[in-house]
Structures are given as structure tokens and as C-alpha cells.
Amino acid sequence: MSAPESAEPRELTDDEKHLAKLGYSQELNRSWSGFSNFAISFSIISILAGCFTNFGAGFNNGGPISISWSWPILGVLILIIGFTMSELVSAYPTSGGIYWWASKLGGPAAGFFTGWLNLIGLVAVTAGVGYGCATFIDLTISTWSESFAANYSLTRVFLIFVVVLVLISVLNIFSSHLMAIMNNVSVWWHVVGAAAIVLILLFVPDQHQSFNYVFTERFNNSGYFDGDTTNFGFWFAIVPFGFLLTQYTITGFDACAHLSEETASASTAAAKGIWQSILYSVLGGYLLLLAVVFAIPDDASGNPDNAGVGAGGVAYIFVQSMGANWGGLVLFISASAQFFCATSCMTSASRMTFAFARDGGIPGSNTLKKLTATRVPANAVMFVAACAAAVTLPALVEVNIGTPDAPLIVPVAFYAVTSIAVMGLYLAFAIPIWLRWKHGDRFELGAWNNGAKYKWMNPLAVAEIVTVIFFLSLPFVPGGNPFSDSDFQWKFVNYAPLVTLASLLLLTIWWNASAKNWFTGPKHTIDEAVVKAFDA
């Protein structure tokens, strides 16, 4: 897009000049403040969402120690990942974010695979958060209404999920500036809501567990090793299954990059937004999780009710330790936060879709890159919503690894969707992080950078990602292992690695058969002559 020869180019802001140097004209509305940019990642991380919806993944695979120790250790490692990405977004503040960095540092092939992994991850995280929100809406109403609880069904939860998708889509299509306002409100809802829940859990329950229980108790409800918590497999297979709690909760912080073209002073604001959203979420999430574990009720014999919590999750803890009124209130606070989170996820995913389509990386790019009169990628929003609904369809299948008299419903489909989110997003993160390390001192630093610390930060970040993804690729329950015994059934299968590997295989075929001939990476939307004129 070139300026008319007779028109004098207007003076660009520093943000527009930086964007022009990267090859893009200012198409999106740059109305977001630095706080709003931080707010969207903080909202997507959402300690009131991931900490509660995936609590069972941590508790059943290790017990209290899987939460009290795994969370802070993984939190520090994820913060290091955040620092490496902050450096990248400072140098390249574009909506394409992750995929743009990979293209710049590794060429079109790196950008193509990174873009698709990022897109798959963002669709999956939107689906996971939306379904978690629907589950907690159902739990909230069920806690306050016995008749509603009596008619529970997976179909009902899925229909609520579809309604959530429709609502967050409409909100995203309405206005970009409205999303900035909602994210600002979301931050305070999360801060005040989390503080309120911690205080409620501290003062309302009649009894609390001991420090010894919270920091040393082991529990194995995975179905593996007959519940043993002392052997090698418990420490190096079962406890790592619980990493999903932390790794899924603290993700989506790449939203700061995807919204950088709509953020003022993006080269510093987006960089700070990434690491600050991670840091505050790690600290706040840890306090919240500890409060939940301390509030675990005792069973009829006076011992911590590990089995009840393993089957019922946080809703069981809240209702059994505080009663239906207080329990329902906590669930309502969480469900509302998850709605904010799902809305932010849709914003991030639609902006990445728009940016990738702008560069021709998605079939139907001409449609997906179109903006409304208010400069919102409405078609991209609807595309993400449709894909999120499709990937969550397996959640309609009930997975009971217990017995009819003592059912233990395992949300395998939900865990799989959240694992797909982790795999897609973190693999997409790993590619540009690794490429930046390979570039070494040749990398052109932005206003915010890690200095020489990148030499150890970047390899450590990639190692953490590869390790966690390996464990999240294993079967969640014995019935999902085709090599275990006759109990194998497809409904037990963790389909996350199958989806991820199948996607990579199809992308490889597509790239070699066709895409390498036409996908050249980021396309300029502004003439070089115009860039030089503005720089003069």
C-alpha cells in the first residue's frame, strides 16, 4: 500500500515508525495502554481458571506435593521462558508475534510451522477455557439448585460451552476498544476475586489441614502402580502428569505480542506485559492453590479426604468445607473470571489468525484478514469459534474409570484439549527462542533485552518445554495405553499427541508439496520508499 505521489506523508508516531520498519502500515486501532496489554495476558493466564479447572490433574497425580512443590518450580522456569519472549517482542512488536519472529530468524519454513503450531494452540486454549467456564457455570448453578444438579449431563455442559463461545465472539466483534476495557476490568476481578477466595478459604472452613500434609502428603489416583507413592514411577511418571496444572494455567502470555500493534509504546510495554503477567500469576496462583489445599476437608474417619477430592475436584472442597452458599459464591467468582479469560483468549487467537492470514499462511486468507469498519477481524473471530467448538466435541463422551456404584469420571477430553493448547503454544514458543539463541550476538536487540543472559536462558527454556511436552504426551490413565492390558479403550486415549503429530505430519506434507512454493513469510503492506520517507 503506497501513499499517493501528490500527498505529503504525515508524521508517524514512534510505534508506527517501528511497525513500518518491520514492513507493515498501521491497520489496527492502536488504542491499548501498556496496562491493557499486560491485562490481556494476565486475564488469559487467569489463576481463577487454570488453577481450578485443572486442579484434579495435579492432585490426582501426586497429591498435595504435586501442587505445593511443582507449581513454584515450574513457575520459575516459565518465567525464564517469558523473559526470552519479552526480548523478542521488544525487537519485533507485531500481531504475528511468535510466527513473525520465527520467520525473521529462521526463514519461511520456520515461520510456517511456528504459525500453525501457535494457531492450533490458541484455538485449543480458547476451547479449553471456554469449556472450563461452561463447567463452572454448571457447577455454580448445581450447587445452588438440587433439581438442576439432578439433571446433569455432558450434553448440557457442551450446550453452555457453545453459548459461551457465541457470547465471547459477539463481544470481540463489537469493538477492539471494548476488549481493552474488559481486560482492565478483568485484572481487578482476578486480583480482588482471588484475594476474596483466599480469605474465604482461610476464615470460613471449621478446620484446615496441617503444613505437613500440604507439603509432604503424596497421593496417586492415576490408576497406575496400584496407587503406590514410593516407587520410581511415581516420581518420574505420575508427578510429571500433574505438570499440566501449572503449564496450562501459565500460558497464553503471547497475547501481549499479538496485541502489540494495538498497544502504545509496544517495544517496552509488550515486553514488560509478558514477564509481569507471568510473575504476578505465579505468585498469586501459588497463594490461591495453597489456600485450596489447606481447606481440604476430612472424611468420616477424620483423615484428609483425598479420595473425595480426587473424584470431585475443587467444587467438592468448597462445598464440603464451607457449605453450598459459600461454595457456590467461590464457584461464581471463578466462573466469571473464566468468562473474562475466554473473551481474552478469543481476542488473542483472532489477532494471530488475522496476522497469519495477512501474510497468506491460512486457506481463505483473503476472508480471514478482512477488518470491519471498527477495524476488528470479525471473520477471524468466527473462524476461531467454529474450530474451538469442533476440537471439543469428544467432551460429549463420558469417561468413567470407576464403577457404576463408585463412578470416577475423568475429563480425558478436557485434559487432551488443554494438553493440545500447551503443546501447540509452547512448541511455537520454543522455535523462535532457539533461533534467537543460534543468532547469538548478531540478534538486533530491542529497547528491552536480556543482555548476555540469553546464552543460558534460551537453552533452559527450550529444555523445559521439551520435557513437559514429553510427559503430557503419555496416557493419562492405564486404559489409554494400547500396550497395557485388555482394559484399553479409545475413549480413554490422550489424543493430544495424536492431534499434534498428525498436524505436524500434514503440515510437512503440505509444505513440501505446495506451501514452500508460495509462502514467503511476512508480507510488507507498506512500500520501502514510504518507510524511507518517514525516516528522513
Give the C-alpha distances (Å, rounded to integers) separating 70 from 32, 215, 246, 468: 35, 11, 8, 12
Average pLDDT over residues 75-83: 97
- What rounded mean pLDDT belongs to the chain? 86
Query: In sequence order, what are the residues at sequence separation of 6 or more whose Cβ sits closer than 8 angstroms to the Cβ of residue 374?
Result: 29, 174, 175, 176
- Based on the structure, what is the number of domains in the chain? 1
Residue 23, pLDDT > 70, answer no
Q: What is the pLDDT of residue 117?
A: 93
Residue 433, pLDDT > 50, answer yes
Q: What is the pLDDT of residue 429?
A: 94
Q: What percent of the chain has pLDDT over 90?
A: 50
Q: What is the pLDDT of residue 167?
A: 95
Distance, in Å, from the CA atom of 218 to the CA atom of 2, rounded to the nearest integer, reads 64
- Structural domain includes residue 433: yes
Q: How confident is the model at residue 177 (pLDDT cuts 50, 70, 90)?
A: low
Average pLDDT over residues 257-282: 87
What 8-state DSSP symbol labels residue 263? Answer: B
Q: What is the pLDDT of residue 496?
A: 82
- Structural domain includes residue 2: no
SS3 category, 13: coil
Query: In sequence order, what are the residues at sequence separation of 6 or more whose Cβ sits closer than 8 angstroms to the Cβ of residue 384?
Result: 122, 123, 126, 346, 349, 350, 353
Q: What is the pLDDT of residue 223?
A: 81
- Structural domain includes residue 520: no
Residue 86, pLDDT > 90, answer yes
Distance, in Å, from the CA atom of 221 to the CA atom of 239, rounded to the nearest integer, reads 11
- Structural domain includes residue 485: yes
Q: What is the pLDDT of residue 4?
A: 45
Domain of 394 in residue numbering reads as: 34-515
Residue 406, pLDDT > 60, answer no
For the entire predicted model, the pTM comes to 0.86
- Structural domain includes residue 536: no
Q: What is the pLDDT of residue 498?
A: 86
Q: How confident is the model at residue 94 (pLDDT cuts 50, 70, 90)?
A: confident
Q: What is the pLDDT of residue 6?
A: 45
Residue 531, pLDDT > 60, answer no
- Structural domain includes residue 132: yes
Q: How confident is the model at residue 499 (pLDDT cuts 50, 70, 90)?
A: confident
- Structural domain includes residue 290: yes
- Structural domain includes residue 358: yes
Q: How confident is the model at residue 404 (pLDDT cuts 50, 70, 90)?
A: low
The CATH number covering residue 90 comes to 1.20.1740.10
Q: ∠345-346-352 over CA atoms, to 5°? A: 90
Quickly list DSSP for 70-133.
Answer: HHHHHHHHHHHHHHHHHHHHHH---TTTHHHHHHHHH-HHHHHHHHHHHHHHHHHHHHHHHHHH
Q: What is the pLDDT of residues 453-487, one digit of tens each?
A: 999 999 999 999 999 999 888 887 787 777 766 67
> 14-23, 101-110, 240-249, 478-487: lowest mean pLDDT where?
14-23
Residue 3, pLDDT > 50, answer no
Residues 388 and 130: beta-carbon distance below 8 Å? yes
Q: How confident is the model at residue 533 (pLDDT cuts 50, 70, 90)?
A: low
Average pLDDT over residues 64-89: 96
